[in-house]
């Protein structure tokens, strides 16, 4: 069974973790939460979720794709060199990466945003543009292997686009 990683740290948006987590399982994939270290992360509302693996223990070849949820967790994740190396590796392999809301911060810090058409929460629009991305205010934007969305209300379109890139073949 192929594994999809979900990046996770404290202050994550619970909607942007739980909805993709169960959609991945429903599609027949294994879901694996990944962070800077193994721990229990807490959402903005205090909901606990286990970070199963440290990014430094993984390589792009270990995953079929990656989801980067929003909230304020991406600001923590973008500071970890192993997380950024994993994102770059998955991108270089052309595997699907989906990020929503503030998840684009991780793409910026990983150096994979420049020249790509992306969306994200309106508060990071300037960050994306200043990093060289082309910003679109749309429900979902697919640019090669990247899927980006703005906010929790975009989750159905976000996950349809991500699963389509995977080919729905677990």
Mean pLDDT by 10 residues, the chain (170 residues): 96 98 97 98 97 98 98 98 98 98 98 98 98 98 98 98 85
Nearest in space to 134 (alpha carbons), one of 151, 154, 113: 113
Beta bridge mates, 54? 35
pLDDT given at position 120: 98
Query: For residue 114, what is the DSSP state?
Result: T
How high is the pLDDT of residue 169?
57
Contact predicate 5/29, CB 8 Å: no
Cα(76)–Cα(132) distance, rounded to whole angstroms?
Answer: 22
In CATH, 3-166 is 3.30.565.10: no
In this prediction, residue 1 carries a pLDDT of 79
Task: List the catalytic residues.
Answer: 102
Take residue 70 and report the two structure tokens written for it: 């929003």
| Tens digits of residue pLDDT in 31-49 | 999 999 999 999 999 999 9
Angle, helix 14-26 to helix 155-166, in steps of 10 degrees: 40
Q: What's the CA gap between 138 and 125, in Å, rounded?
A: 12
Residue 48's pLDDT is what?
98
Query: From CA 131, how far away is CA 93, in angstroms rounded?
Result: 22
Q: List the structure tokens of 18.
A: 């739980």
């Amino acid at each position: 069974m192929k594994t999809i990683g979900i990046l996770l740290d404290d202050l994550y948006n619970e909607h942007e973790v739980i909805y993709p987590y169960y959609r991945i399982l429903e599609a027949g994939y294994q879901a694996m939460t990944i962070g800077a270290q193994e721990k229990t992360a807490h959402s903005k509302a205090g909901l606990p979720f286990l970070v199963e693996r440290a990014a430094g223990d993984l390589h792009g070849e270990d995953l079929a794709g990656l989801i980067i949820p929003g909230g304020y967790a991406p600001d923590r994740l973008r500071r970890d060199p192993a997380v950024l190396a994993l994102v770059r590796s998955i991108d270089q392999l052309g595997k699907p990466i989906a990020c929503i809301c503030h998840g684009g911060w991780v793409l910026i810090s990983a150096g994979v945003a420049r020249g790509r058409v992306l969306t994200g929460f309106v508060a990071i629009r300037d960050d994306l543009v200043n990093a060289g991305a082309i910003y679109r205010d749309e429900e979902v934007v697919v640019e090669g292997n990247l899927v980006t969305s703005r906010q929790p209300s975009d989750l159905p379109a976000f996950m349809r686009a991500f699963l389509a890139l995977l080919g729905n073949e677990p």
